[in-house]
A = this chain, B = another copy of it.
Amino acid sequence: MSAAAELHLLRFLPFRLNRLAAEVSQNLAQIYRQRYGIDVPEWRILATLGAEGRCTAQAIAASTRMHKTRVSRAVAFLRESGHVRVAAGAADGRETQLQLTPRGRRLYETLVPLALARERELLAVLEPALAAAFLEALERLESALQLPRAESAPPAGQPAGSRVAGKASGRAARSP
């Protein structure tokens, strides 16, 4: 009866998930931190606004599960740097509709290909069937934990974005 289970950290799922996520994030974050002067929270806001067009800070916080203070500060930074501005039609006096400026859009369009390339690079180490299973499992876990999920299934073969672009250019660097 008195069986104390042994636990090897390197086989413990929560630890492994954390470590993997941290590693993946750091790789990617370093690129847009050093080259474009933005950090993870800022990137998430750019990505949300880039896809959604416009939404409130509250909506960003809800879908990304970032704390609202984190969103607030990152938005303040992006507004000062001219990547984000408040949208005109302010229905509710409390909320602030946000959207990308042209400059923010250019930065977004510069970052997206990098992000997608990194994602593909990651999934490339899994053969297609395994990758599909992995994504399926991810979806299940997210569902079980009641995390916000994208509605429709991604176009087969491309887990995240899919479209390609003629555009490339855009020079939206920063540094402070």
Interface size class of A (residues with CB under 8 A): 35 or more
Q: List residues of chain B with CB within 8 A of the CB of A140.
A: 125-126, 130
Cross-chain contact B137 with A14 (CB below 8 angstroms): no
Cross-chain contact A13 with B165 (CB below 8 angstroms): no
* A69 on the B face (CB < 8 A): no
* A15 on the B face (CB < 8 A): yes
Of all chain B residues, the one with the shortest Cβ separation from A2 is B168
Cross-chain contact A7 with B50 (CB below 8 angstroms): yes
Residues of A contacting B: mostly: helix
* A25 on the B face (CB < 8 A): yes
Contact with B along A140-172 (1 / 0, CB 8 A): 111111011110001000011111111111000
Cross-chain contact B154 with A125 (CB below 8 angstroms): no
Number of copies: 2
Contact of A163 among B3, B22, B126 (CB under 8 A): B3
* A20 on the B face (CB < 8 A): yes
Q: Which 8 A-B pairs have the closest CB atoms?
A: A2-B168, A1-B166, A133-B133, A7-B161, A134-B137, A3-B164, A21-B21, A10-B150
Which residue numbers of A lie inside 8 Å of B, CB to CB? 1-25, 28, 44, 47-48, 50-51, 63-65, 108-109, 112-113, 115-116, 118-119, 122-123, 125-126, 130-131, 133-134, 136-138, 140-145, 147-150, 154, 159-169
Q: List 8 A-B contacts (CB under 8 A).
A: A4-B164, A5-B113, A6-B164, A10-B148, A14-B118, A18-B22, A19-B65, A19-B142
